[in-house]
Amino acid sequence: MGIILKFNKKLVSRIKELREEQNISQQDLAKSVGVSRQTIYYLERGSSNPSLTLSLDISKHLNKPIEEIFYYEPVIKDLIDNIKLGDIKEIADEIGIGYNKILKLSDIDDEQLSKMYTEEELTKVSEGLGEEFHKLFLKNEE
């Protein structure tokens, strides 16, 4: 028995990318699915999560399966991807965990997380990134 570590995840939307590929304005998409342009804006920013009905309508209008439009991504991926590499090197030095090991957190799944990292290491990474552990990771007893 032990502790299972997993990533805390957030819903990511590809609406903007797919809409722009198809040359559809926010206003046109909004009108087609029966919501305001602001709703589309908030969905694209990730500030709002759509209802199942709205998700299906957007999927139909963009002619893409829902799972190509919306998916879950580890919260830490966005955080690491938006930090300058020099800053990650500084964090790695401060917390005593290899630079590459911190970067690897952007590219692995839940199963690899538990195999490659200890709770202590992930706590140090969280602190180094200025986030609380529970905002980036979940832990369950086996």
Last residue of a domain, one of 70, 90, 108: 70
| Statement to judge: residues 100 and 136 lie in one domain | yes
The predicted-structure confidence for 116-137, as pLDDT tens digits, reads as follows 999 999 999 999 999 999 999 9
3-state secondary structure the chain: CCEEEEECEEEEECHHHHHHHCCCCHHHHHHHHCCCHHHHHHHHHCCCCCCHHHHHHHHHHHCCCHHHHEEEEEHHHHHHHCCCHHHHHHHHHHHCCCHHHHHHCCCCCHHHHHHHCCHHHHHHHHHHCCCCHHHHEEEEEC
pLDDT more than 70, % of the chain = 98
pLDDT band at 107 (very low <50, low <70, confident <90, very high): very high
The pLDDT value given to residue 57: 98
In the chain, the largest separation of any two C-alpha atoms, in whole Å, equals: 54
| Statement to judge: residues 79 and 66 lie in one domain | no
The pLDDT value given to residue 141: 73
| Statement to judge: residues 66 and 78 lie in one domain | no
The predicted-structure confidence for 47-86, as pLDDT tens digits, reads as follows 899 999 999 999 999 999 999 999 999 999 989 999 999 9
Q: Are the beta carbons of 68 and 58 closer than 8 angstroms? A: no
Give pTM, 2 decimals: 0.78
The predicted-structure confidence for 26-46, as pLDDT tens digits, reads as follows 999 999 999 999 999 999 998
Last residue of a domain, one of 53, 70, 87: 70
| Statement to judge: residues 60 and 83 lie in one domain | no
Strand partners, 137: 7
The pLDDT value given to residue 142: 65
The pLDDT value given to residue 43: 96
Mean pLDDT of the chain: 94
| Statement to judge: residues 86 and 134 lie in one domain | yes
Q: How far apart are CA 118 and CA 73, in angstroms?
A: 21
Return the CATH number at 58: 1.10.260.40
pLDDT at 109 over 90: yes
The pLDDT value given to residue 119: 93
- Structural domain boundaries enclosing 132: 3-7+74-141
Number of domains in the chain: 2
Q: Are the beta carbons of 15 and 43 closer than 8 angstroms? A: yes
